[in-house]
Amino acid sequence: MRGEEKSRKQNNRINAFLLLTFLILGLIGVYYCNEKYGGKILQFGSAASNHGEDVDNMLKITIIITGIVFVITQVALFWFAYKYQESDKRKAFFYPHNNKLEVIWTAIPAIVLTVMVGFGLFYWFRITGEAPDGAMQVEVTGSQFKWEFRYPGRDGKLGKKYFKAINEGANNPLGQLWEDSTNKDDIYSVQEDLHLVVNKPVKLVINAKDVIHDVGLTHFRLKMDAVPGTPTTMWFTPTKTTAQMKKEMNDPEFVYEISCDQMCGQGHFKMRGTIVVESQEEFDLWMSKQTPKFYLAFPEKAPGYKAPADTLTNKIAAAVVPQQKQ
Ligand SMILES: [Cu+2]
């Protein structure tokens, strides 16, 4: 039993020293990681949508506040453990409770966190709420493993659809109900560029055909789950054209991307779509070149349709095409 107190005191000193070392090495580590990875958090240039700027600011403020609190609390914790280690020169002061202190350190974090969560909720409700008047609408459908886009066409309305009407072979991959006349001018594209107009709000109506996917729009700082059976929506205003971003990022290859942000299966990585943000004129020009899916499903109903003449070439074509389909 002899020497027990001495070794306890020695252990205490070692522990106190180790706590201080841990504090210093820990803070150096935090600084180092920040230097090394800080620039990679948002390496996608500045936000390219109206909401994106708010989201970036919110993130910045959150990191600053939590960063300051982190440093103060960690330094206090480990420094006090070192400074007030056991000593023969002083006696511990018994101080078990103080209501005023309890209230202060409960109320201040509660208020700060409520304000931060409040901002998040405010932005969330705005992003998922009603789009401004005059917003364009695009339907985005995720399936294993691709994105499909549908534009409402000239009438501005997306036609009705029903999952049992889905028939890839009959040119109806989304299950559009052709008896609904608003379907007849709807434009469909798959995996190709999603075309958006700069400074024009767009509302995305998001669907999924099989499992849960997620529309991830990194450059616009937005994402939204694509859930089978339950359409989700979000709206935003792109603020920079693809050409502007190419210049800003100093990257002639730059494209806006739409990624799938849910692990949705083996081909998850393939769900990369691209987005073109362009002027209204460019968009109109692109749109004028598109053929509504209805006319692809029923070519004989397209304006200016001519029944193929009974020539030898057409007979060969008619014989060959169905085979190629398989
Ligand atoms: Cu997916």
Q: How far is the CA of 158 from the centre of ligand 1 (A)?
A: 23
Q: How far is the CA of 126 from the centre of ligand 1 (A)?
A: 25
Neighbours of 291 (CB within 10 A): 11
* Cα–Cα distance for residue pair 159/246, rounded to 1 Å: 35
Q: What is the arithmetic mean of pLDDT over 259-280? A: 92
- 203-215 pLDDT, tens per residue? 999 999 999 999 9
Q: How far is the CA of 143 from the centre of ligand 1 (A)?
A: 7
Q: How far is the CA of 40 from the centre of ligand 1 (A)?
A: 24
At 48, give phi and psi (nearest 5°). -110, 20
Q: How far is the CA of 179 from the centre of ligand 1 (A)?
A: 31
Residue 325 has pLDDT above 50, yes or no: no
Mean pLDDT for the chain? Answer: 87
Q: How far is the CA of 191 from the centre of ligand 1 (A)?
A: 12
How wide is the angle at C-alpha 293 spanned by C-alphas 171 and 237, nearest 5°? 125
* Cα–Cα distance for residue pair 265/84, rounded to 1 Å: 55
Tell me the β-bridge partners of 150. Answer: 139, 188
- 46-101 pLDDT, tens per residue? 788 989 888 888 888 998 999 999 999 999 999 999 998 888 888 888 898 999 99
Q: What is the arithmetic mean of pLDDT over 262-272? A: 91
First to last CA, the chain: 89
Q: How far is the CA of 229 from the centre of ligand 1 (A)?
A: 15
Q: How far is the CA of 253 from the centre of ligand 1 (A)?
A: 24
Supply the DSSP string of 139-185, one letter for each residue: EEEEETTEEEEEE-TTTT-PPPB-GGG-BGGGTBTT-B-TTSGGGTT
Q: How far is the CA of 269 from the centre of ligand 1 (A)?
A: 8
